[in-house]
């Protein structure tokens, strides 16, 4: 059954192709970067690689090189032709060659297999970023509704996480409870990492068997998926009572997140949001911890992929547009307490932002 969000995407993609005068669009995806494929054919690839050929009338062909993925795609009843293509590039080239003299574009261009474009006869294919990337970044209301639901699930998931975080438990036991909870809620995918400890912790990672003990900071980001769309929440808790040092450190992150959210609105560049967050750290002599040595981004886009454009960094000058869905998170290392995180998902609006997360912005304590 075609979802409301997917039906809206089909119409938007068709309009974009006609506007750019493209007769055929090639979309490539794998189990990491699947958002381009998902946008066009509503399939989240998990294994192998896939190529979709999309026409302006909305008809499409999805070619997959993994037999199990092909069987799953057919079982899901996708609104497209599904082809098992163990020789994926050869199959795609053959279909493109038979397409005749048409204007062809492809995305993401930098990830396309070399052999798809180059062979005995090079195919004349242009970069399709202008068609797809703005659609991925700026959501229609039907898409925002799905992100909003994913954010509500993230809130529910964090409540489960807090209840699971007790002294003596291992980090993977917390992960197991979250994953079990999300599956009962119909969440097929959840990107999640965790950090446990003190000053020695420089970031978050998959669980490694760390045992929670009194005084530890426990950081996590939960990123559940609903109807193909992801939303994220970042929070930190303390095992036992928080120390005054931990409380003071957390206050910096709260101030930074609020500063970033305060400037978030349509027309503002992503760099301005990052600068607002980073300026708070600079004010407290912590500017070095906003550099790439200690942190990756100050937030990022979300949607059909957990980490989309625009990246929230001071050198990213993409203007925010109404309908973009982002997370603002000043996650980084603090020299007194270790790695600490705090972040909320939001929707960019004309005169501000719509906050999607409802979990209190506090340094939680668990006993």
Q: Are residues 100 and 224 in the same domain?
A: no
Range scoring the smallest mean pLDDT among 107-116, 154-163, 286-295: 107-116
What is the predicted pLDDT for the residue at 101?
67
What is the predicted pLDDT for the residue at 121?
65
Is residue 73 over pLDDT 80? Answer: yes
What is the predicted pLDDT for the residue at 240?
97
What average pLDDT does the chain have? Answer: 95
Give mean pLDDT, residues 326-338: 98
Q: Are residues 319 and 188 in the same domain?
A: yes
β-pair type (60-64, 49-54): antiparallel
What is the predicted pLDDT for the residue at 251?
98
Give mean pLDDT, residues 271-288: 98
Q: Are residues 255 and 327 in the same domain?
A: yes
E-strand stretches of the chain:
24-30, 49-54, 60-64, 81-84, 104-107, 125-127, 190-197, 217-226, 229-230, 233-239, 299-301, 308-311, 325-328, 332-334, 338-340, 344-349, 352-355, 364-366
Is residue 1 over pLDDT 60? Answer: no
Give mean pLDDT, residues 292-320: 96
Is residue 262 over pLDDT 60? Answer: yes
193-244 pLDDT, tens digit each? 999 999 999 999 999 999 999 999 999 999 999 999 999 999 999 999 999 9
Determine the structural domain holding residue 322 and report its residue range: 141-366
Q: Do the beta carbons of residue 302 and residue 35 sit within 8 Å?
A: no
C-alpha separations of 30 from 45, 97, 180, 300, 361 in Å:
6, 23, 25, 21, 35
Q: What is the CATH number of the domain that holds 326?
A: 3.90.230.10
Q: What is the CATH number of the domain that holds 75?
A: 3.40.350.10
What is the predicted pLDDT for the residue at 92?
94
Q: Are residues 205 and 303 in the same domain?
A: yes
Q: Are residues 37 and 120 in the same domain?
A: yes
Q: Do the beta carbons of residue 26 and residue 109 sit within 8 Å?
A: no
Give mean pLDDT, residues 62-78: 96
What is the predicted pLDDT for the residue at 115?
87
What is the predicted pLDDT for the residue at 168?
97
Of 137, 172, 207, which residue constitutes the final position of a domain? 137
Question: DSSP 3-state assignment of 128?
Answer: coil
- Count of domains forming the chain: 2
Of 121, 137, 153, which residue constitutes the final position of a domain? 137
Q: Are residues 163 and 290 in the same domain?
A: yes
Q: Are residues 75 and 175 in the same domain?
A: no
Q: CB neighbours of 271 closer than 8 A, spacing ≥ 6?
A: 313, 314, 315, 316, 317
| Distance between CA atoms of residues 128 and 100, nearest Å | 19
Of 107, 137, 167, which residue constitutes the final position of a domain? 137
What torsion, rounded to 10 degrees, do the Cα atoms 274, 277, 283, 285 define? -80
For residue 123, name the pLDDT band (cuts at 50, 70, 90): confident
341-364 pLDDT, tens digit each? 999 999 999 999 999 999 999 999
Q: Are residues 153 and 133 in the same domain?
A: no
Residue 118 CB coordination number (10 Å): 12
Q: Are residues 127 and 177 in the same domain?
A: no
Q: Do the beta carbons of residue 322 and residue 331 sit within 8 Å?
A: no
- Cα 169–299–184 angle (5° rounding)? 45
Q: Are residues 97 and 147 in the same domain?
A: no
- Tokens representing 166 are 């007790």
Cis peptide preceding 78, ω within 30 of 0:
no
Residue 169 CB coordination number (10 Å): 18
Q: Are residues 347 and 325 in the same domain?
A: yes
Q: Are residues 109 and 213 in the same domain?
A: no
């Amino acid at each position: 059954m075609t979802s409301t969000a997917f039906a809206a995407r089909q119409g938007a993609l068709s309009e974009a192709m006609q506007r750019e005068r493209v007769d055929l669009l090639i979309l490539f995806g794998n189990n990491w970067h699947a958002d381009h494929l998902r946008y066009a054919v509503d399939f989240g690839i998990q294994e192998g690689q896939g190529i979709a050929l999309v026409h302006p009338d909305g008809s499409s062909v999805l070619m997959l090189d993994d037999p199990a993925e092909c069987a799953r795609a057919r079982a899901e009843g996708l609104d497209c032709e599904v082809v098992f293509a163990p020789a994926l590039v050869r199959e795609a080239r053959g279909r493109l060659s038979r397409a005749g003299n048409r204007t062809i574009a492809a995305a993401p261009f930098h990830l396309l297999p070399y052999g798809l474009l180059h062979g005995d006869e090079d195919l004349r294919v242009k970069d399709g970023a202008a068609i797809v990337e703005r659609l991925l970044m700026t959501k229609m209301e039907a898409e925002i509704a799905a992100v909003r639901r994913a954010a509500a699930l993230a809130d529910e998931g964090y409540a489960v996480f807090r209840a699971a975080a007790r002294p003596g438990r291992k980090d993977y036991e917390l992960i197991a409870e979250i994953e079990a909870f999300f599956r009962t809620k119909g969440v097929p995918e959840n990107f999640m990492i965790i950090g446990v400890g003190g000053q020695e912790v420089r970031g978050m990672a998959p669980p490694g068997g760390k045992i929670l003990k009194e005084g530890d900071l426990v950081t996590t980001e939960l990123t559940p998926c609903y109807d193909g769309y992801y939303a994220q929440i970042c929070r930190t808790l303390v095992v036992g009572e928080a120390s005054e040092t931990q409380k003071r450190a957390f206050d910096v992150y709260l101030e930074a997140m609020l500063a970033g959210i305060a400037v978030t609105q349509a027309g503002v560049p992503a760099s301005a949001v990052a600068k607002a967050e980073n300026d708070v750290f600079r004010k407290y002599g912590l500017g070095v911890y906003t550099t790439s040595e200690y942190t990756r981004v100050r937030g990022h886009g979300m949607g059909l992929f957990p980490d989309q454009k625009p990246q929230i960094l001071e050198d990213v000058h993409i203007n925010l547009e109404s309908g973009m869905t982002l997370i603002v998170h000043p996650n980084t290392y603090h020299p007194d307490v270790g790695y600490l995180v705090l972040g909320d998902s939001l929707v960019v609006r004309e005169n501000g932002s719509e906050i999607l997360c409802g979990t209190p912005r506090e340094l939680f304590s668990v006993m």
